[in-house]
């Protein structure tokens, strides 16, 4: 929306070369929310003569039409963009729910060890029983765990068997990243979530969504 506002101000600046515009005080801060009627109540002072004057005749009509067109276009584009994000996110959430349900129904019985369950916040020094989906590619193991006690506790994990390093992502049935736990040289710790962690999580989530809940498959 800021881009459209910049273009609008650029157009207005063209008018300001010939006219010094005295706006309603709060115009700049609320340009996107102001009504056309409010915006038309602008007083102009001719740049050459320095005398107060109001827009009238062709100038006022052209200015009002141009302003109305720009504001309408800006709001239309912003509304269209706002609709794309939520729609896409809704589809992803629905696919995640399908992936969780499919794993819970068709996966294998497994356990998260006590120390990892504790770091993830799923238990207090106890094993966490899960239903698991797992894929092995060479020395790389990727897993999708759904807690038997609570289907909203979902863990995606990646294990490098060559180094035994692990990364576990605690998420939800809707695919929201809640916690990241890493294991390096046998020591596990809760990691502060960074933008890189989010990217890696989204990559893992997409891998499982494509595998368990492909687009277009009910």
Average pLDDT, stretch 44-60?
49
Which of 40, 38, 43 lies closest to 64 in space, CA to CA?
Answer: 40
Convert the pLDDT of each residue in 169-200 to its tens digit.
999 999 999 999 999 999 999 999 999 999 99
The predicted pLDDT at position 88 comes to 62
- What is the arrangement of strands in the sheet containing 52-54, beginning at the earlier edge strand? 19-22, 43-46, 52-54
Helix axes 2-18 and 57-106, enclosed angle (nearest 10): 170
Measured CA to CA, the distance from residue 208 to residue 189 in angstroms comes to 24
32 phi and psi angles, rounded to 5 deg = -75, -20
| Band of residue 69 on the pLDDT scale cut at 50, 70, 90 | low
Measured CA to CA, the distance from residue 31 to residue 110 in angstroms comes to 58
Which of 138, 137, 151 lies closest to 107 in space, CA to CA?
Answer: 151
Measured CA to CA, the distance from residue 169 to residue 129 in angstroms comes to 16
The predicted pLDDT at position 12 comes to 47
Task: Give the strand pairing for 187-191 and 179-184.
Answer: antiparallel
Torsion-angle region of 119 (φ positive above 0: left; ψ -120 to 50: alpha; else: beta): alpha
Convert the pLDDT of each residue in 95-130 to its tens digit.
999 999 999 999 999 999 999 999 999 999 999 999
Per domain, the residue ranges of the chain are 2-94, 107-212
The predicted pLDDT at position 41 comes to 34
The predicted pLDDT at position 180 comes to 98
Please report, for residues 11, 45, 51, 57, 69, the alpha-carbon distance to residue 48 in angstroms, rounded to integers and kept in the order given.
20, 9, 8, 19, 29
As given in the structure block, the two tokens for residue 60 are 């006022």
């Amino acid at each position: 929306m800021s881009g459209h506002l910049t273009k609008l101000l650029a157009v207005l600046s063209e008018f300001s070369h010939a006219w010094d515009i005295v706006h309603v005080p709060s115009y700049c801060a609320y340009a996107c929310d102001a009504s056309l009627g409010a915006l038309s109540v602008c007083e102009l002072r001719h740049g050459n003569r320095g005398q107060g004057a109001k827009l009238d005749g062709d100038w006022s009509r052209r200015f009002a039409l141009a302003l109305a067109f720009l504001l309408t276009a800006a709001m239309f584009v912003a509304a269209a963009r706002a609709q794309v994000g939520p729609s896409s996110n809704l589809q992803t959430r629905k696919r995640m729910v399908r992936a969780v349900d499919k794993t819970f129904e068709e996966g294998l019985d497994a356990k998260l060890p006590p120390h990892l369950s504790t770091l993830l916040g799923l238990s207090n020094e106890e094993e966490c029983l899960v239903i698991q989906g797992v894929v092995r590619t060479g020395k790389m193991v990727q897993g999708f765990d759904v807690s038997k006690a609570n289907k909203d506790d979902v863990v995606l994990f990646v294990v490098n068997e060559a180094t035994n390093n692990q990364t576990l992502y605690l998420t939800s049935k809707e695919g929201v990243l809640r916690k990241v736990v890493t294991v390096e040289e046998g020591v596990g710790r809760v990691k502060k979530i960074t933008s890189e962690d989010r990217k890696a999580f989204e990559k893992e989530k997409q891998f499982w969504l494509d595998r368990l809940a492909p687009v277009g498959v009910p």
